Amino acid sequence: MNESEQLRTLAVDIGGSGIKVMVLDTEGNPLSDRQRLKTPNPATPEKVIDVILTLAKEQEYDRISVGFPGVVQNGVIKTAVNLHDDWLQYDLATSLSQLLSRPVKVANDADIQGLGAISGNGVELVITLGTGFGSALFVQGKLVPNLEMGHHPFRKRETYEEQLGRAALDKHGARKWNLRLEKAIACLDHLFNYDTLYIGGGETKQIKLDLPASAKIIPNVTGLLGGIKLWTN
């Protein structure tokens, strides 16, 4: 085995309520337990990075992949609706690389969940249900970048995120939230005509409806396991 095949990747998943890390081998298999700390409030770049540095301190790794809840272009944050405005135009990849002295790649968190879940066949859509509403679209295994479905109009003049984010779940309860989710799945099916829908995120535990055959729930840890694909795709 050569040196490149032995690289260890520190996968980081930044969420609205928690920040998680796990070390992966080159096949994406876990080499450590998942570690988690609460997302700071306010979730400024400095405070979030302090949490990442704390979580990384006890790990051995050669490179870093980061999932971020917003649009990311070349390691620079373009949107951060559920964190803090200071993230806008923040070069997270360069900042972390300098602080940790390792190469860093950053991508949207739903994109990374998808990379860890998809089969690579046909049209595959990923949605994540957590603090907000994330989304990623793949065609024959290729990512369609920067799809922000969560902030598009859905129903009653509200977006998918306003209807299905954690705030809506807490305000209206699981029953109404599930009815909305059922409508959202039907709407997205008509919009994208996908072959498979993957549903991830921390609030999948609230799903009580009977999902269509084309939809499946993926474990939350997929948001970390997909991080290795940033280095192989």
User: What's the number of CA atoms in the CB half-sphere (13 Å) around residue 18?
Assistant: 14
Question: What integer pLDDT is reported at residue 5 of this predicted model?
Answer: 60
Domains 3-111+223-231 and 119-218 share a fold: yes
Domain 3-111+223-231 in CATH 3.30.300.30? The answer is no
For 190, counting Cβ atoms within 10 Å of its Cβ (0-12 exposed, 13-18 middle, 19+ buried), the class is exposed
Which whole-number Å values give the CA distances from 114 to 72, 109, 150, 229, in the listed order? 15, 9, 16, 10
State the residue for tokens 């570690």. Answer: 35
Which pLDDT value is given to residue 92? 98
Region of 58 (left: φ > 0; alpha: ψ -120 to 50; beta: rest) is alpha
The predicted structure's pLDDT at residue 36: 96
Q: Is 198 exposed, middle or buried (0-12, 13-18, 19+ CB in 10 A)?
A: buried
In the prediction, which pLDDT does 108 show? 95
Q: Report residue 223 as tokens.
A: 């948001």
- The CATH class given to the 119-218 domain equals alpha beta
Would you list the domain boundaries of the chain?
A: 3-111+223-231, 119-218
In this prediction the pTM is: 0.91
Beta carbons of 135 and 128 less than 8 angstroms apart: yes
Pairwise CA distance, residues 114 & 119, whole Å:
9
Per-residue pLDDT, 233: 63
What is the C-alpha to C-alpha distance for residues 59 and 76, in angstroms, rounded to an integer? Answer: 25
Residue 14 near residue 87 (C-beta atoms within 8 A): no
Q: Establish how many alpha carbons lie within 13 A of residue 158's alpha carbon, considering only the half-sphere containing its beta carbon.
A: 11
Per-block mean pLDDT, blocks of 10 residues, the chain (233 long)? 71 95 94 96 98 96 97 96 96 98 96 95 97 96 91 95 97 98 97 97 96 96 92 80
The separation between the first and the last C-alpha atoms of the chain, rounded to the nearest angstrom, is: 21
